[in-house]
Structure 1
Amino acid sequence: MRAPTAATPSRQRPAFTREGLVTWRFVYRDLTASLLPGCLFVLAGASHSHADAAATGRALARAAVYLTLFIYIFCVANQLGADPREDQANKPDRPLASGLVSRAGAWRRWLVAMAVFPLLGWTLGVLWWALLWQAITVVNNFTPVSRWGPTRDAIIVPGAIVQLAAAWQQIAPLDATAWRWILTLAVVLGGLGLQMQDLRDLDGDRMIGRRTFPMLLGERTSRRYLAVLILAMPAIVHILLYASRVDRAEVLLCLVPVAGLSWTVAWRVLTLRTPAADRLTYSLYTLVYCVTLAGGIPLLR
């Protein structure tokens, strides 16, 4: 009997179940950098605007649908725009690399999602953020921008801005407080996050000639630079986001998990240098982003 291929089991499932599996395989690596932080920022906005439970629940549901499609269109484009050799080296379980879907099938999914996404954005009152995200997705994945460290890092900052702004607007108008959080998180945590991600993908990047920051600076220098910035992350978060609160005990409770995760990440960056370790380190770094946002729920009341 012929052994089943990676794609065979999914084709035996009902269409809806199979499509759910395909979607999961496209996006699961990026949910802690997209869906989860966006929903946490909705809760922070609800706290800030004193929204009731019913309004908060509706906003969370809207944000969850929007953010799922938000990351889906990016991930599918990222895999369509990638050199097949890169995914075979770095992420062989991705749908295209594993044979779960064909390139034609991925293109059909992406074009349908790209058509639906601005309609969803218009329905939810965030059309311009949706259009900006589509532009960022195309530029990042289908132009040379992502092949050079400085431009690759620069484009992630507006990406984080449009993510967080659209999430907040599901529950409250954008005000000075919202913008302070959005800009701080996008510039400090967002820009740094891509460099963390690049550490795990060095083999594939070298294979296709991409010049990321760890390659431009050298891996050892890059790791030291990242570790210093991540060690300073709790202080940066406190000064720029948390310090305005007068309840010091509450601030401390929010700052402790940020510090614990940040310092764990810094230690791992310096001492654990295998691709598998770097993948986990990056995942832990995305949780720094999440717990920082979670601190806004009690602190923005």
Structure 2
Amino acid sequence: MKTVVENQSNSLKWYIPKNITHHFIREINLIWLFIRRDFPSTVIAALVFLIAAWKSNNLSSDELFFGLGRGFFYFLLYILSFCIANQILGVEEDRLNKPDRPIVSGAISYDGAVVRLVISQLGFTLLGFCLGIVQWALLWQLFTFLYHVAHWDRNWITKGLVVGVGAFLHLVPAWELIAPITPIGWTWILTMSAIWTILVPVQDFRDIEGDRIVYRQTLPILIGEKASRILVSLGFVILPLVVHIILMMPAGNTWNVLLCDFTLAVLSWAIAARILFCRNPKADHRTYMLFTYWYCLALISAIIIL
């Protein structure tokens, strides 16, 4: 009898850790399913810019290590809280455009997503308070509300504004987690925010049918797909000149600057060409992802030249 009780006790000891591990792995997988499309343009981009701030200020490796640790969890909650809200309110649209998202695919229930939204929003605010950047966290939550609840996502102008502000609200904390923002830091932050505001319609070509269903007035729907493709591609053709004048020229005509300039220009022109000639939802999604990679490369160039 004693042996049976001992065996049951040992089995319970093994079961509890295995159960906890299972739930932990499931939550990590769910987080990834929620944010995977936006991970490069938010978490990775912000951490890259944090490294640029560290290098620009000649700080110690310890400060970089702890800065990256703080930044990773802050920016993870930054995009997670936004993406869960987006997907809770966009279930019908996702059935058509993004059926692999967790709510639509059945990986998580609607109520389960709501619970995680509340936890992520509260956690984001609390972490922002602990890191001394709660004002940026609260401002992002305000724009998250405006985007989803006040339907700023339904108009291409207000949608672009939210996306541009979103870039501002992850680049500013990225620098402030390391050091006070310098004038050159502000130049990079404001330029990148403006680029996102103006060129974000590149993401709308992949979702035209879904946007029509929810009566969203994106640029392709408002002025026509052909005209909007020409307009947005023209923006990417001009983009290298803007980047060169505002960001690269102040750093001088070194080989590092010229290499960054050239790489960003080639990628920008490749995006412009894809917008015009690669015209189906899958190709348009790849084109948008190329833009997010351009953004990350632009911020990597900040590490090189600052």
TM-score tier after normalising by the smaller chain length: over 0.9
What SS class does the counterpart of residue 242 from structure 2 fall into?
A: helix
Quote the Cα distance in structure 1 between the aligned partners of 2:252 and 2:23: 54
Residue number among 271, 293, 300 corresponding to 2:299 in the alignment: 293
The answer on 1:150 being equivalent to 2:157 is yes
Which of 98, 105, 109 in structure 1 is aligned with 2:112? 105
Give the counterpart of 2:148 among 126, 141, 144. 141
Q: In 2, Cα distance between the equivalents of 1:208 and 1:118? A: 31
In the alignment, the residues of structure 2 paired with residue 174 and residue 215 of structure 1 have an alpha-carbon distance, to the nearest angstrom, of 39
CA contact (8 A) 1:268 1:281 kept: yes
Task: Compare CA radii of gyration and give the structure with the larger one.
Answer: 2
**Once the 2 structures are TM-superposed, how far is the Cα of residue 246 of structure 1 from its aligned partner?**
2.1
Q: Does residue 220 of structure 1 match 2:229?
A: no
Question: What is the 5 A alignment of 1:15-54?
Answer: 15-54=23-62
Instruction: Specify the SS of the correspondent of 1:244.
Output: helix
Could you tell me which of 85, 88, 94 is aligned with 1:80? Answer: 88
1:280 aligns with 2:286: yes
Specify which of 252, 256, 273 is matched with residue 267 of structure 1: 273
> In the alignment, which residue of structure 1 is the partner of 2:66?
58
Q: Distance in 2 between matches of 1:154 and 1:146?
A: 10
CA distance in 2 between partners of 1:55 and 1:182 (Å): 21
Deviations 1:190-240 (A, max 9, x none): 113421111111111012211111111111011001111101111111111
Q: Does 1:238 align with 2:248?
A: no
Look up the equivalent residue of 1:147 and give its one-letter code.
R
The residue aligned with 2:6 is none
8 Å contact kept, 2:34–2:84: yes
CA apart distance, 1:151: 1.4
- The one-letter code sitting in structure 1 at the alignment partner of 2:220 is P
Q: Which runs of 4+ in 1 moved over 4 A?
A: none
SS of 1:241's partner is helix
Q: Deviations over 1:114-141 (max 9, x none)?
A: 1111110111121100111111111111
Q: Please, which runs of 5 or more residues in structure 1 have no aligned partner?
A: 1-10
* SS of structure 1 residue aligned to 2:36: helix
Fraction of identical pairs, as percent:
37
Contact 2:199/2:235 (8 A) holds in 1? no
TM-score under structure 2 normalisation?
0.91
Q: Tell me whether 1:129 sits opposite 2:136 in the alignment.
A: yes
Instruction: Report the equivalent of 1:199.
Output: 205
Which amino acid letter does the alignment assign opposite residue 298 of structure 1?
I
Q: 2:167 aligns with which of 140, 145, 160?
A: 160
Select which of 79, 92, 102 maps to 1:95. Answer: 102
